[in-house]
Amino acid sequence: MTAEGGTTRIALNSMRVAYLGPAGSFAEAAALRYAPQAQLLPCTTISAVAQGVATGTADEGVVPIENSLEGSVTDTLDLLIHDSSLFIRQELVLPVEHCLLVRPGTRAQEVRVIYSHPQALGQCRQFLERHLPGASLVAALSTSAAAQQVHETREPAAAIGTARAAELYHLEVLARGIQDNPSNATRFVVLGHADHPPTGDDKTSLCFSFAEDSPGLLYRTLGEFARRNINLAKVESRPTKQSLGQYIFLVDLAGHKEDPVVKRALRGLQRRVSFFKVFGSYPRYRNAIQ
């Protein structure tokens, strides 16, 4: 066991890290960067990653939460809002290079169906419309699961995935870097039973909602941060899933929930809302693509 910032943490070489798999996914690459010596446990869904951590099968879990082109990963947000008591304890940002993968010998003009995760399909929309306009797009649980599907099928199909997935599933790379934007990057978060102790350069993620709507309500609530000069890195909304027109607001802010000024702002916010949940405070990732 090793100590980290006053908390006890399992040594990296004995740690078990769940990730959205199977092997060859971008989440696996994030998990390898986060804990290269850990035992990696692939899971078929984001909720399965969280369940593995919650039940003790894994010590921590790595899931995607945001892409620079397609925005937030809704499955991860809904999990954090509604279905999990886990915390965000780290974040990582990885550049994304999508490849078009086929069974060896398959030509682009033969491809009739393209498998991938919905986010990947959206990130490569322009390439697909230009080069494979007649192919059907089929959602898969992950980019690596899509590669596995192409490996197992006999139909003329392709997958959008990683070069590593091509190696793992014995596929051929027809094209590299097919994403619409060369600065494409995905933000991943590490889920655990506790968030991270303060480091002096942190972020906090949270959500809140209101029982009733009224003019200026959101403005006054976010004013709790503005008055204290706390920067908000992201503000977005998600449906509450209870009634049409009702929303949950999600915020990423600069600072740790234990910082005195942030703590006061969170107390002020909590008095104004009907639902409030902190997803976690964690070190701000400093090597992200700008």
Looking at 106, 143, 162, 186, which residue is catalytic?
Answer: 186
Q: Is 188 a catalytic residue?
A: yes
Confidence (pLDDT) at 10: 52
Q: Is 275 a catalytic residue?
A: no
Q: Is pLDDT above 70 for 12?
A: no
Residue 197: inside a domain, yes or no? no
Q: pTM, whole model, 2 decimals?
A: 0.82
Express each pLDDT in 95-127 by its tens digit: 989 999 999 999 999 999 999 999 899 999 999
Q: Is pLDDT above 60 for 143?
A: yes
Which of 286, 268, 88, 86 lies closest to 200, judged by CA?
A: 286
Confidence (pLDDT) at 29: 92
State whether 219 and 272 are in the same domain.
Answer: yes
Which of 278, 270, 114 lies closest to 203, judged by CA?
A: 278
Residue 106: inside a domain, yes or no? yes
Q: Is pLDDT above 70 for 6?
A: no
Q: How far apart (Å, rounded) are the C-alpha atoms in residues 145 and 22? A: 6
The average confidence (pLDDT) of the chain is 91
Q: Residue 77: give its domain's CATH number.
A: 3.40.190.10
Q: Residue 217: give its domain's CATH number.
A: 3.30.70.260
Express each pLDDT in 51-88 by its tens digit: 999 999 999 999 999 988 888 999 999 999 998 899 99
Express each pLDDT in 270-283 by its tens digit: 999 999 999 999 99
Domain span holding position 110: 99-176
* Secondary element (H or E) of residue 52: helix 46-55
| Residues 49, 54, 59, 65, CA torsion sign | positive
pLDDT band at 212 (very low <50, low <70, confident <90, very high): confident
Confidence (pLDDT) at 11: 56
Confidence (pLDDT) at 114: 98
pLDDT band at 3 (very low <50, low <70, confident <90, very high): very low
Residue 3: inside a domain, yes or no? no
Residue 288: inside a domain, yes or no? no
Confidence (pLDDT) at 290: 38
Token pair 């974040």 in the structure block, residue: 91
Q: Is pLDDT above 80 for 5?
A: no
The total number of structural domains in the chain stands at: 3
Which of 27, 60, 23, 17 lies closest to 188, judged by CA?
A: 27
Residues of the chain with pLDDT > 70: what percent? Answer: 94
Looking at 87, 188, 208, 225, which residue is catalytic?
Answer: 188
CB atoms within 10 A of CB 217: 13
